[in-house]
Amino acid sequence: MSDNTVADQAEPPAQDETTNTHAAEAPAQEAAPEPQPEQEVAPQEPEAEQDGFAALGLSEPILKALHEKGYLNPTPIQAQAIPVVLMGQDVLGCAQTGTGKTAGFTLPMLDILSGSRARARMPRSLILEPTRELALQVAENFVQYGKYLKLNHALLIGGESMSDQKEVLSKGVDVLIATPGRLIDLFERGGLLLTDVRVLVIDEADRMLDMGFIPDIERIVSMLPANRQTLFFSATMAPEIRRLADAFLTAPKEITVSKPATVATTITSGLVLVNEHDKREALRRLIRSDDVQNAIIFCNRKRDVDILLKSLLKHGFAAGALHGDLPQSVRFATLEKFKAGELKLLACSDVAARGIDIGGLSHVFNFDVPHHAEDYVHRIGRTGRAGREGHAYTIATPDDRLAVEAVEKLTGAPIPRIEIPGLDVVEWAEGDGRKRGRGGRVVRGGDKKGVKEKPAAREAKPQPERAPKPEAPREREAAREREAPRERDRERPRRERERDREPRYDRDLGAPVLGFGETVPAFMLIRRRGATPVVEDVNEEEAPDVIPEENGGNAES
């Protein structure tokens, strides 16, 4: 659970206080027919709120850490998942970003693992995350909530020294947090064993599917013991995700918290429709016109992130970029500057932003309409948290009509259109709005800048047929020579042609030849010493190299 997610509980709304007060009144009304005013004292409310996590069965050290952080009441997914995990049952959770699902498995895991110690190179629990940022976020949660427990963790992510990671594993770890690629790499090098894993957590399964990690996940699961506990979380529940859950889980408890398509009521949304070449100008005007404290700007491609960053820096904005092709050190430094307020704007891709958790984010800009409608909900869900007001603006072109309609169908509400003074007013393109240019390039109908119209194809004039040119004598002679063998072959009788063919069976070759047949090499006719010569019809002319033996000797010329 991230800092921002659990921070939702630091400022409970007035309705929660009323609910807790009525909950305290109910036992009093059952004990006595007349209400007792002294039992409605307000100072008892913090104790009732603190009992929110205690009622779930968590141990005292974890409750103490939560109380110090100011987290009093669990979120819906935490209230449903924590007791089930403590009982050792598998969990299939469907919850979007910002619901507190991370604490839904980290808190009970700390309780489960606190009873014993880990052995060298054999972690007792494994958490798989699709990105390094998400893995770092989960590791931070274990440090915060397990500060009063003698448990340790290891982080296996790319961009870090593998020798250092091996050294940590050799000492024994209770919680191993890893990305699939680095985990398999270290396993193949003999750096760890997975036969002692008691709890497996597969987080952000939908993102794992999008990033192509499912074969790696299946391989990792095959290395684990069968009698483990598996916790499976995903923001969406597509058929592919359901198939994976059925393969990995055993009689799981299904937990669904709100629909993935829901958008917080505290978020003010807006849609700007402009031409393709006006998108960056529209973004700059939106940033200048609104009171933007800090904002994340989403692009669909990493290449567009770099281009947008150059444009923002050129116009004097304090901006940074975050995507998977950047070195790990650069990504960490950029993220720290953004959290510290040194950077006001952060342009990033969907995958890189999945692990970002910033409290009090005022704005989210969709520089590109997401390819998947569910990603729209994930993007704008980063603002408007903890009851604060948030703003989410989407910049679309006439070719994005179908993508915007998919988002509006998923959320169940249209995105209000807003106009920016000074920019051309455009309308949606007809059809799918995308045409293929030369080389398969997509030519957008709403962007006419720099696009030249093709001239109409000229009608071909009928050409008179020309008489064939007479062949040169040399060419005719060469053609006649090439055709001559074919003509001769046709004139031969069919039986004669078949006789020249290679036999199909060995028996068609005739009687087999034994030894050398009638031809014997001359060197084999040389007699051994002391051997009686046996020569049949061989004269001196036929065997010039053989000299008659005298006195038992053998002479060779």
56, 60, 65, 69 alpha-carbon torsion, rounded to 10°: 50
Computed over every residue of the chain, the mean pLDDT equals 77
More confident residue, 457 or 129: 129
Burial of 214 (0-12, 13-18, 19+ CB in 10 A): middle
Q: Is residue 443 very low, low, confident or very high in pLDDT (cuts 50, 70, 90)?
A: very low
Q: Indicate whether 482 pLDDT > 70.
A: no
- Nearest in space to 109 (alpha carbons), one of 160, 173, 14: 173
Q: Is residue 556 very low, low, confident or very high in pLDDT (cuts 50, 70, 90)?
A: very low
CA distance 336 to 323: 15
Q: Indicate whether 172 pLDDT > 90.
A: no
Domain with CATH 3.40.50.300 in the chain: 73-256, 267-435
CB atoms < 10 A from the CB of 270, how many?
15
Residue 478's pLDDT is: 62
Choice among 25-34, 57-66, 160-169, 265-274 with the minimum mean pLDDT: 25-34
CA distance 247 to 250: 8
Q: Is residue 54 very low, low, confident or very high in pLDDT (cuts 50, 70, 90)?
A: confident
The stretch 267-292 carries a mean pLDDT of: 93
CB neighbour list of residue 431: distance below 8 Å, 6 or more residues apart: none
Residue 16's pLDDT is: 41
CA distance 197 to 228: 7
Residue 406's pLDDT is: 93
Q: Indicate whether 424 pLDDT > 90.
A: no
Residue 44's pLDDT is: 36
Residue 461's pLDDT is: 53
Over pLDDT 70: what percentage of the chain?
67
Q: Indicate whether 148 pLDDT > 90.
A: yes
Q: Is residue 384 very low, low, confident or very high in pLDDT (cuts 50, 70, 90)?
A: confident
The stretch 385-396 carries a mean pLDDT of: 88
- Nearest in space to 159 (alpha carbons), one of 124, 140, 131: 131
Write down the architecture of domain 73-256 according to CATH. Answer: 3-Layer(aba) Sandwich (3.40)
Q: Is residue 243 very low, low, confident or very high in pLDDT (cuts 50, 70, 90)?
A: very high
Burial of 145 (0-12, 13-18, 19+ CB in 10 A): buried
- Cα separations in angstroms, 271 against 18, 350, 408, 539: 38, 19, 11, 113
The stretch 346-355 carries a mean pLDDT of: 77
Which residue type sits at 286? L
Question: What CATH number matches the domain at 267-435, 3.40.50.200, 2.40.50.140, 3.40.50.300, 2.60.120.10?
Answer: 3.40.50.300
Q: Is residue 469 very low, low, confident or very high in pLDDT (cuts 50, 70, 90)?
A: low
According to DSSP H, which parts of 361-513 are helical? 373-380, 401-411, 473-491, 494-499
CA distance 7 to 98: 10
DSSP-derived secondary structure letter, 546:
B
Query: Collapsing DSSP states into helix, strand and coil, what is residue 272?
Result: strand
Q: Indicate whether 213 pLDDT > 80.
A: yes
DSSP-derived secondary structure letter, 253:
E
CA distance 408 to 373: 8
Backbone phi, then psi, for 239, in 5-degree steps? -55, -35
**Tokens 């598996």 identify what position?**
230
Q: What is the DSSP string of 142-164?
A: HHHHTTTS---EEEE-TTS-HHH
Q: Is residue 485 very low, low, confident or very high in pLDDT (cuts 50, 70, 90)?
A: low
pLDDT in tens, 57-66: 999 999 999 9
Q: Is residue 247 very low, low, confident or very high in pLDDT (cuts 50, 70, 90)?
A: very high
Q: What is the DSSP string of 425-455?
A: ---PPSTT-EEE-GGGPEEETT--TT-PPPP
Q: Is residue 132 very low, low, confident or very high in pLDDT (cuts 50, 70, 90)?
A: confident
Q: Indicate whether 279 pLDDT > 90.
A: yes
The stretch 214-226 carries a mean pLDDT of: 93
More confident residue, 357 or 310: 310
More confident residue, 229 or 436: 229
Which residue type sits at 103? A
Over pLDDT 90: what percentage of the chain?
37
Residue 239's pLDDT is: 87
